[in-house]
Copies of this chain bind each other. A is one copy, B any other.
Amino acid sequence: MTQNASVLDLRVRRTRMLLRNALIELTVEQGFAAVTVQQITERAMVNRATFYRHYTDKYDLVMSNVRELVDELGPYEEPYGPPALRHLLEHIVEHAKFYRIILGKDGMAPFSAHIRSYVEQHLRMRLEAMTYDPARMRVPLDLCISFMANAMLGTITWWLEHDLPYTAEQMALWLPQLNVHGLSYGLGTDIHHI
C-alpha cells in the first residue's frame, strides 16, 4: 500500500490490473449492482483478502479507476474548442469499455459526476475568458454551463452505447456547434420553437 518510489511494485500493479479487468467483464455480463467482491476476486484469480488490502469495496475500486483516468486527462488546457474536445473524445475512445460502464445505462451517478465536474470546470474557464455583455444575458451562467456539460456528456454516453457510430472528429465538430447554435444548426434550418 505505502510506496515511496514513484513506480509501484510489479505485483501491486498486476493485482490492480486484474481486478479492474475482472470488474469490467463482470459488469458487462451482470450489471454493476449484481457484481460481488467474491466474483471479482475469483475472476481476477486473486485472493479475496488481497482485494481488501487495496480497496474498501467495489465502489472504491471503480472510483479509484475513475480518478486515475481523469488525472490522466491532465489539467484544463487554455485553448478550448474542437482541439481540446478531441483530446477528451480520443481518450474516451481509448478507454471505451470502462467509460461505457461508468457513464452508461448501468452507471452510477457518483462516478459520472466526477467526470462531469471535469467538463464543467473546463467550460466555466472557457466562458469566463470570453468577451460577452453580462447585461445582455438571458439565462444564468451556471445554468448554461450545466446545460452544456450535460448535453455533451449525455451525448457522448449515447455515442458509447451505440458503439461509436461516428468518428471522434465528427463529434468534436458537432458538439460545440450544437452547444453554441442549438438545434437550428443541427437541422440546418432556422427554427423558432420546438
Residues of A within 8 A of B (CB): 33, 59, 80-81, 104-110, 112-113, 123, 126-127, 130, 132-133, 136-144, 146-151, 153-155, 157-159, 166, 174-189, 191-194
- Give the shortest distance, in Å, between A166 (CB) and chain B (any CB): 8
Residue of B107, B123, B180, B194 near A193 (CB, 8 A) is: B180
Chain B residue at minimal CB-CB distance from A171: B143
B151 touches A180 (CB 8 A): no
Other A-B pairs, 18, CB within 8 Å; known A147-B151, A149-B154: A33-B59, A123-B194, A126-B194, A132-B189, A137-B186, A140-B166, A141-B186, A143-B158, A143-B159, A143-B186, A144-B187, A146-B155, A147-B175, A151-B151, A179-B194, A180-B183, A180-B184, A182-B185
Docked Cα-Cα span, A133 to B157, in Å, equals: 28
- Give the shortest distance, in Å, between A182 (CB) and chain B (any CB): 3
Pick the 7 closest A-B CB pairs, nearest first.
A150-B154, A136-B188, A182-B182, A151-B151, A139-B186, A146-B158, A107-B109
Residue of B136, B141, B150 near A150 (CB, 8 A) is: B150
B153 touches A150 (CB 8 A): yes
Q: Within 8 Å CB of A158, what residues of B?
A: 142-143, 146, 150
- Give the shortest distance, in Å, between A27 (CB) and chain B (any CB): 12
Docked Cα-Cα span, A174 to B142, in Å, equals: 13
Residue of B80, B133, B185 near A189 (CB, 8 A) is: B133
Chain B residue at minimal CB-CB distance from A120: B158
* With A109-B106, A154-B150: A181-B181 Cβ-Cβ less than 8 Å: yes
Q: Within 8 Å CB of A159, what residues of B?
A: 143
Docked Cα-Cα span, A187 to B182, in Å, equals: 13
A144 touches B186 (CB 8 A): yes
Q: Within 8 Å CB of A139, what residues of B?
A: 174, 177-178, 185-187
